[in-house]
Structure 1
Amino acid sequence: MTIPMILGMVMMMSFGLIDTFFVSLLGTDPLAAISFTFPVTFTVISLTIGLGIGTSATIGRLQGSKELEKSKLYATGSLTLSAMLVGVLATIGFFSITPVFSMLNASERLMPYISDYMGLWYISSVFLALPMVGNSVLRACGDTKTPSIVMASVGGLNALLDPLFIFGFGPIPAMGIKGAALATFIAWVVGAGWIIYILAVRRKLMLPRLLSFAELRTSSRDILKIGLPAAGANMLTPIAGGVMTAIVAAYGAEAVAAWGVGNRMESIANIVVLALSMTLPPFISQNFGASQIERVKHAYSLALKFVLVWQFIVFLAMWGLSDWIAQAFANEAKVSALIQLFLMIVPLGYGMQGIIVLTNSSLNAMHRPMTALILSIIRLFVFFVPISIAGSYLYGLQGLFIGNVIANVAMAGVSLVVFKKAIAQCDHSSVSSK
């Protein structure tokens, strides 16, 4: 189930990385500007991820119980709900670009670049929500191949359009950083139309009409029961990221540019973990429902062992390629040096971060979304932000990077203890029921 997801995830996550690469060719200021946008854009993306988790859990249960007509209703409701909620969040964001990014310590010099990018990005974000949630419907119905094809195709289209709109060609004028947002907008519109066609026409997994208010309210209730805590947990990450960006901004535009490139590379480095976090939960949920607790333990343990080995290999690769990656994304020597410093330190903690991510997704699969939410709060605001700030205060930017690694190690230990207790409770309940 995981292997088909990896290619699609690579292409989907490449949106930000490809934008960052081409924008980096415009200079340090545009690169710093797009780096400031990451925590804000990921806030919106996190909402759609949470809604996708709620959608997948709800649709999967209905498909399993053979309530196919109700499944279609809920699939339609999930897409409608996601478009509405993301639309509200994007509208608020659109009219608060200047105050929000001022809070993140973006300078007046960078604000025109940020406004050019985010103004169009917010408009396009509704079209992002539809393919992301629509793909969750397909995965809940046992299809991981089609979502991968959709994500890969849309990511490829974005990659083709980026240089065309950023630098111009023939009658198309060079739009700079706004061109990156336009390329993303077009790619997402295509993805939204494609996924709706697949669900409504080709696969008939949703209703080809708008829902009544009563139908929307009924379907939304079950989706939000799991989706809201999951969205809340995901949205905490960019909030903490915003705090970290504001701290990094104190070291100058070059540091923010390097931080942004590092975070984009992190998205790619964690592709396998993210793919596993989408395919492990259905397996755990099925076996949890069947009281096959030993299989749940085995799947969780096996996934964690694999992730630790895999992410250590990723760390070695990023260490070895750090100089080449830094030079590819930066023209200025200072920015290049800071990118290399990030890539030689922060990826060391990616294996532990994988434990945290898979534990949270497993807890959601075991119908413990509030436990996962609490763990996310502890991870970000008890470990990640405070330890990184302390490292920055003591040893500068290098200390901040080291603080990232220490925070992941500490939180991985907490996650393992919490999951062990949750499994023990499940074992006890299973024995008691027998």
Structure 2
Amino acid sequence: WLLQEQIMTLLGAEQALLPVIRSYWAPWLVAAWTGAMLYFGYAVCRSHGDTKLPGYLMIATSLLNIALDPLYIFVFGWGLPGAAWATITAFTIGALIVFPTLLRRGWIRFDLKQVRPVRSLRQLNSIMAPAMISQLMPPFASMLATALAAGFGSAAVAAWGLGTRLEFFSIVVVLALTMSMPPMIGRLLGAGELGQIQRLVGIAVRFILGWQLFIGLVWLASTGLVSRIFTQDPQVAPVVADYLVRVPLSYGPLGICMLMVSTCNALGMSLRALLISTLRLFACYLPMLWVGSQLGGLTGLMTGALAGNLLAGTMAWLVYRRGMRRLEKQPAA
């Protein structure tokens, strides 16, 4: 809240946009907190093997958010803050469903008499701290990438923002895998079935590569149509087209990188997951963005994103495999 103007200025926001950003900032922060609580509830469900309730609620809250957006923004006349309030409403309704369910099933409780706070916090921190840092890195890197795009003007920022939103929808299957596989991996790890874990991960990796290649080819084939549908700005449309021609082809390696992070966390190798996240962003993605922008301007920036994701996926797989070999040696030791 205190650094909103400094953050947006660093990201290249024009002075005329700052009043709009100020009106949106407070409800957006509330929406972020509400979403964090809801996703914590989802994680508790998945850790107990219930993937249906989080899945259904994610679909329901997303559809509710989409339905409320035009109502809050246009009908009620709340403008941009209305989008944040729509998200708050959807997330709150989801939380009112998931948390009573958790309490009823005895999966969470507030009786702390039998809990040793210091010991419990140490156990949590050993996994939570590296995982938290690895989760903070992508948005931080996204800010830096947006700042690089801002150097090419407001049209580049708009196109880059649209591209990253399309990326989210393109990798939704990968996101589902990163959330659904850790409980399965955890149970297999508890049973000592490392071979089964490797087979499961191998199947997921092959599926991600095939599926994301298909998605990338779909975006490639429909580049002109998509750029016309999502923007009427003659300056933004060509940049969006450049993005769709290049970046989606690297969503497969990007998906592998994301899956390896969640897999390593599920295997108790949280520091290795943090290493993958760090190398992906600061040794692969961001350096390639910078090199591409220096060599080829805005088009080079897109090519750099493609190359960075390819390098990151390869690196993540190698780091995971090395970690698995160490894990296999532990029982013998």
Percent identity between matched residues is 32
Structure 2 Cα separation of the partners of residues 118 and 286 of structure 1 = 41
Change (3 A) 1:426 1:205: closer
In 1, are the aligned partners of 2:272 and 2:323 still within 8 Å (CA)? no
Query: Is 1:182 the equivalent of 2:89?
Result: no
Structure 2 residue aligned with 1:239: 140
The one-letter amino acid paired with 1:296 is I
Change (3 A) 1:210 1:98: farther
Query: Is 1:167 the equivalent of 2:69?
Result: no
Residue 229 of structure 1: how far off its partner (Å) = 0.9
The one-letter amino acid paired with 1:186 is T
In 2, are the aligned partners of 1:346 and 1:404 still within 8 Å (CA)? yes
Structure 2 residue aligned with 1:199: 102
Which structure would you say has the larger RCO, counting Cα contacts within 8 Å and 6 or more residues apart?
A: 1
Structure 2 Cα separation of the partners of residues 311 and 163 of structure 1 = 31
Q: How far does the alpha carbon of each residue in 1:135-187 deviate from its partner, in whole angstroms, 9 at most, with x for none?
A: 1111111111111121111111111110112112xxx2x22212111211211
Structure 1 residue aligned with 2:62: 155
Residue 401 of structure 1: how far off its partner (Å) = 0.8
Structure 2 Cα separation of the partners of residues 204 and 291 of structure 1 = 27
Structure 2 residue aligned with 1:383: 284
- Secondary structure of 2:50's counterpart equals coil
Structure 2 residue aligned with 1:263: 164
Structure 2 residue aligned with 1:146: 53
Q: TM-score, normalised by structure 2?
A: 0.94
Structure 1 residue aligned with 2:37: 130
Residue 218 of structure 1: how far off its partner (Å) = 5.3
Number of corresponding residues: 333
In 1, are the aligned partners of 2:280 and 2:316 still within 8 Å (CA)? no
Residue 211 of structure 1: how far off its partner (Å) = 5.2
Q: How far does the alpha carbon of each residue in 1:99-133 deviate from its partner, in whole angstroms, 9 at most, with x for none?
A: 11112221112212222222211123221122100
Query: Is 1:355 the equivalent of 2:262?
Result: no
Structure 1 Cα separation of the partners of residues 19 and 118 of structure 2 = 40
Structure 1 residue aligned with 2:209: 308
In 2, are the aligned partners of 1:130 and 1:195 still within 8 Å (CA)? no
Q: Structure 2 regions of 5+ residues with no counterpart?
A: none
Structure 2 Cα separation of the partners of residues 366 and 205 of structure 1 = 22
- Secondary structure of 1:333's counterpart equals coil
Query: Is 1:343 the equivalent of 2:250?
Result: no
Residue 318 of structure 1: how far off its partner (Å) = 1.4
Structure 2 Cα separation of the partners of residues 192 and 220 of structure 1 = 24
The one-letter amino acid paired with 2:8 is F
Instruction: Specify which of 26, 51, 54 is matched with residue 119 of structure 1.
Output: 26
Residue 324 of structure 1: how far off its partner (Å) = 2.7
- Secondary structure of 1:106's counterpart equals coil
In 2, are the aligned partners of 1:199 and 1:205 still within 8 Å (CA)? yes
Query: Is 1:286 the equivalent of 2:187?
Result: yes
The one-letter amino acid paired with 2:305 is N
Instruction: Specify which of 298, 311, 326 is matched with residue 397 of structure 1.
Output: 298
Instruction: Specify which of 294, 305, 308 is matched with residue 407 of structure 1.
Output: 308
Structure 2 residue aligned with 1:100: 7
Structure 1 Cα separation of the partners of residues 226 and 121 of structure 2 = 44
In 1, are the aligned partners of 2:182 and 2:263 still within 8 Å (CA)? yes
Structure 2 residue aligned with 1:79: none
In 1, are the aligned partners of 2:288 and 2:304 still within 8 Å (CA)? yes
Q: Structure 1 regions of 5+ residues with no counterpart?
A: 1-93
Residue 210 of structure 1: how far off its partner (Å) = 7.4
